[in-house]
Amino acid sequence: MIPQIIEIYFSFFLIGLGAYGGGTVVIPLIEREIVLNHGWLTASEFAQVIALSQITPGPIAINAATFAGFHIAGFWGSLMATTGVVTPSIILMSTVIHILKCLGRNCHINRIRQGIKPGVLAMIFLAIISIGKATVYNPATLAIATITFLLLYFLKNRLHPALLIVLAGLAGLLVL
């Protein structure tokens, strides 16, 4: 049991290292590590972890690590996955803050940051495709996803996203 706990920590440490941009960028990293590399979760279980991570308060990377770790190895798996995913951020942010204080407004650093943004966008698109494959599997789920997206997009200032999630759940209850 102890070696798996250590393996969970280092797997989520690697996920944390690659999670620049946070949020949905981390989803394909987690999927690759815990579904494809280790087989700790199935694609369906992974989709459930992501769904739970998105409906609970807090950063998706930390929530996903906590839920996945618990699913893999209970409380200690949850603790190690969560600690593993945040450790790189703590180390990197401490280092970056120090470097940025020293470099000030260096144009090369700003260009690097601007170049990273399209890469993060590509990872978000990959997450959309990955979650979409596990979530949209018939015309009804496609309709729920499409209507929810359109409502979010066009009425973003009028309807709270949490309300739309509840309505999507109710729609699932009625049509699935």
Comparing CA positions, the residue from 9, 24, 27 lying closest to residue 86 is 9
For residue 136, the model assigns a pLDDT of 92
In the Cβ-directed half-sphere of 176, how many Cα atoms lie within 13 Å? 17
Alpha-carbon distance of 47 to 27, in angstroms, equals: 10
CA distance 132 to 113: 29
Q: How far apart are CA 115 and CA 23, in angstroms?
A: 18
Domain residue ranges in the chain: 2-135, 136-176
Phi first, then psi: give them for residue 50, nearest 5 degrees.
-65, -40
**Residue closest to 52 by CA, chosen among 34, 76, 68, 36:** 68
pLDDT in tens, 74-131: 999 999 999 999 999 899 889 888 877 777 677 887 788 788 889 889 988 888 888 8
- Identify the three-state secondary structure at position 62: helix
pLDDT, tens only, 7-22: 999 999 999 888 776 6
Tell me the per-residue pLDDT of 36-74, one tens digit each, with 9 for 90 and over: 999 999 988 998 888 888 888 888 889 989 999 999 999
State the pLDDT at residue 1.
Answer: 58
